[in-house]
Amino acid sequence: MAAKGGGSENKSKLAMLNPPTASLTGWLTRYHYGAGWCPPGILGIGIGGTAEKAMVLAKESLMAPVDIHELRARGPQSRIEELRLEIMDAANRTGIGAQGLGGLTTVLDVKIKDYPTHAASLPVAMIPTVPPRGMPILRSLETDLPCRHHPT
> If DSSP codes are grouped into helix, strand and coil, which group holds residue 113?
strand
Cβ proximity of 49 and 14 under 8 Å: no
The sheet with strand 122-129 has its strands ordered as 13-17, 122-129, 41-48, 107-115
**What's domain 10-130's architecture?**
2-Layer Sandwich (3.30)
Torsion angle (degrees, nearest 10) of CA 105, 108, 114, 120: -10
Q: Work out the burial of residue 46: count CB atoms within 10 Å of its CB; fewer than 13 is exposed, 13-18 middle, 19 or more buried.
A: buried
Q: Residue 91's closest CA among 109, 116, 115, 69?
A: 109
> If DSSP codes are grouped into helix, strand and coil, which group holds residue 80?
helix
> pLDDT tens across 5-17, in order?
677 777 889 999 8
Cα gap 141→6, rounded to integer Å = 26
Mean pLDDT of the chain: 81
Cβ proximity of 97 and 103 under 8 Å: yes
Residue 144 has pLDDT above 80, yes or no: no
Q: What is the mean pLDDT of residues 40-54?
A: 94
> pLDDT tens across 73-115, in order?
999 999 999 999 999 999 899 888 888 888 899 899 999 999 9
Cα gap 28→53, rounded to integer Å = 18
- Domain ranges in the chain? 10-130
Residue 26 has pLDDT above 90, yes or no: no
Torsion angle (degrees, nearest 10) of CA 135, 108, 14, 87: 170
